[in-house]
Amino acid sequence: MAVSPEFIEDLRQRVPLSDVVARRVKLVRKGRRHSGLCPFHAEKTPSFSVVDDDGFYHCFGCGAHGDAISFLREMDGLEFLEAVERLAEMAGLRMPQSAPQDSAILNQRKVILTILEETTLFFEVALRREDGREAAHYLKQRGLNAAIVKAYRIGYSPRFGLRKTLKEKGFSDSDMLAAGVVGKSDRDSSFYDYFRDRVMFPIENRQGKVIAFGARALGDAQPKYLNSGEGPTFSKKGMLYGWVQARGGLRRNLPLVVVEGYMDVIAVHKSGVAAAVAPLGTALTIEQVALLWKLHDEPVLCFDGDVAGQNAQIRALERILPVLEPGRSARLAVLPQGKDPDDVILSSGVEGFSRIIATSQSLADSLWETLHAKFDLRKPELRAQFWQAIRDHVRSIGHTQVRSAYGDEVESRIATMRNQIRGGSSMVTPRQAFRPQTGLINRHRAVLALLLAHPATVSANFEALSMLDSGDLALESMKKALIDAVIIDPDLDAVALRHHLEGLNFSGALALVVGDDMKSRLPFNPAELSSAQATVYLDELLQLVGGKVGLFSQMDTFRK
């Protein structure tokens, strides 16, 4: 339905913006403007300003800006026409008459939304019944209390009963079919309940209305996860699960995390350290990126630490780069191998997951590291291929200024790499093919053990560390990742650094450096040394690795 600009302007003139805003914000008049606490972010000092004469609001804290329609859309998650209708009600005006086909589409949408709401209520009640006991037990095992279940309106779909209940409420099979809550048999054209014996996760739009369902099977039923089909109210590529709940968390200044599944969203929400949303079983789309930026300027993409999760990160990078804007980007957090956010929170606690978010990489760093890992940079032709690949990604950025800024960053890094090559840096020089002798490799492991316990020592010894080469590819890869992490974030402590390396799949190399075998060989406990002691021991070890006689030279552990 089209609405004329004249009608919208009439609404703006009839309903002062301050009247619209005052329903949600306590305003104080100051001259020709009103001020109050911003509803879009947490603050203690008013920075939110409303000017009726101009018909615009502006927050000097978070930059939120708009008119009455945009205020209603952002506060209540309304579509444009829904916001216009709300404003028309406040003004006491009737909406312009629409064409018959528009009315039919609008009426069908309203019926479908009503069916979905009734279905949600049916599933919520079923979860509390005897036949919902197994589903309730599953949710309890996953650590979900009654408040979380209620907040996300989680329910249970019994094997039968929904169609009968909806029929009794006056809904037709054709409407239920359009809503996606019943299916039609290809064999005899009979209708049946579409979701059966599953834990149900209602999917809400920005207004908080249920528009679809995600369902998890109980037991061994296949498919394990089942989503509503696309329809008049639902398009997977343009929706994010957990939007409404995430918006509430962001008003408390929490970071925004993008995870993969329903339970991950709920686990992060329950932890209290971040707000969370998830795409609906698809790779992150351009439409979903735009939705993310409506919530937060720099969301953290946090995918599972398996091959599928790593591939999802690469696809996300490729989707985000072309639509980057000034001030709008993303960060990438790497989870430990084989673990999702729910696993991390259960095993490492809220603090462990919070460290992962805090040490997430910028988009520029993630792009560089992701491509860097694909090439053997010791070979000139592969270095050239790496440089070409990263330049191709930069060229995909649509915004001219952002593309230029990324180009400068990439060229600066390439220049640094060239200088390291000319200076003989071990970063790209060929490594020895032989396996290093036990004593020599233990010297290198001892160096890394000290660096892991005292990250602050890295910067003062960067040149010496860069020149070392143990001949062990895994150890050298971890050393490089360690140095890169400390250079990017000099304030990393030992716990955060180790967690970061675990997330980069260096658990095996870490075990050799900090495991019981190495502890028994070291004449000191790195974690118990003071900063001054660590500096002295590191200097001695670096000299020993270079062939000089020092404090540890006569110990069997460090002999060649």
pLDDT at 267 over 60: yes
Does 528 or 306 have the greater pLDDT score? 528
Burial of 283 (0-12, 13-18, 19+ CB in 10 A): middle
Select the more confidently predicted residue: 255 or 524.
Answer: 255
Pairing of β 33-36 and β 28-30: antiparallel
Q: Is the confidence at residue 556, as pLDDT, over 50?
A: no
Instruction: Name the range with the highest mean pLDDT among 141-145, 155-159, 446-450.
Output: 155-159
Residue 2 has pLDDT above 80, yes or no: no
Q: How far is CA 459 from CA 93, 483, 485, in A?
A: 68, 8, 11
Q: For the chain, give the mean pLDDT.
A: 85
Nearest partner of 501 among 535, 435, 545, 451, judged by Cα: 451
pLDDT, tens digit (0-9, with 9 covering 90-100), for 323-334: 999 888 999 988
Contact 535, 457 (CB under 8 A): yes
Q: What is the pLDDT of residues 158-181, one digit of tens each?
A: 999 999 999 999 999 999 999 999
Q: How far apart are CA 258 and CA 68, in angstroms?
A: 30
Average pLDDT, integer, range 374-386: 90
> In 3D, which of 442, 446, 455 has the Cα closest to residue 499?
455
What is the tens place of the pLDDT at every residue in 418-457?
888 887 655 543 333 333 344 577 888 889 999 999 999 9
pLDDT interval class at 560 (50, 70, 90): very low
Query: pLDDT (tens digit, 9 = 90+) per residue, 307-325?
Result: 777 777 788 888 999 999 9
Question: Rounded to an integer, what distance in angstroms lies between the CA atom of residue 478 and that of residue 465?
Answer: 12
The answer to whether 256 touches 295, Cβ cutoff 8 Å, is yes
Instruction: Give residue 500's identity as a one-letter amino acid code.
Output: H
What number is the average pLDDT over the span 454-476? 80
Residue found by looking up tokens 């606690």 in the block: 349
pLDDT at 23 over 60: yes
Q: How far apart are CA 360 and CA 371, in angstroms?
A: 17
pLDDT band at 373 (very low <50, low <70, confident <90, very high): confident
Own/partner contacts of 532-538, CB < 8 Å, gap of 24 or more, are 534/450, 534/453, 534/454, 534/457, 535/454, 535/457, 535/460, 537/450, 538/447, 538/450, 538/451, 538/454, 538/457, 538/461
pLDDT for res 102: 60
| Confidence grade of residue 100 (pLDDT, cut at 50, 70, 90) | low
The overall pTM is greater than 0.85: no
User: How far apart are alpha carbons 558 and 551 in whole angstroms?
Assistant: 11
pLDDT digits (tens, 9 = 90+) for 506-555: 887 888 888 877 887 787 788 888 888 888 888 888 877 765 444 444 44
Three-class secondary structure assignment of 214-240: EEEECCCCCCCEEECCCECCECHHHCC
